[in-house]
Amino acid sequence: VGINNPGYEMAAKLFPNPARDYFRIRGLEGRATVSVTDLSGKLLIQRDVSSNENIAVDELSQGMYIVKVAGTRGIAEMKLLKE
């Protein structure tokens, strides 16, 4: 269980968004755990990443996903559109 930190959420950005094959997270400090879920909450991807590391989404269907980033500065949740 984590505490949302609005300052962290503002610092972390997904790009490109919409994504086709991969996305990256800009604004991470150190490593973070990234989770990608569908809108029903089903976990599809979970891995540890560092800033500007590619996260492959080429096997996901087109649609909207929730990306949760848990790092040293807190937890952020963002929407990702997969094309």
Q: Are 65 and 80 in contact (CB under 8 A)?
A: yes
What pTM was computed for the model?
Answer: 0.84
Place of tokens 């972390």: 12
The model's confidence at residue 9, banded by pLDDT at 50, 70 and 90, is very low
56's tokens:
């492959």
* Chain segment 31-48, per-residue pLDDT in tens: 899 999 999 999 999 999
- Please indicate whether residue 11 or residue 35 has the higher confidence score (pLDDT): 35
Determine the pLDDT at residue 67. Answer: 97
User: 22-56 burial by CB neighbour count: b if 16+ within 10 A, else e?
Assistant: ebbbebbeeebebbbbeeeeeeeeeeebeeeeebe
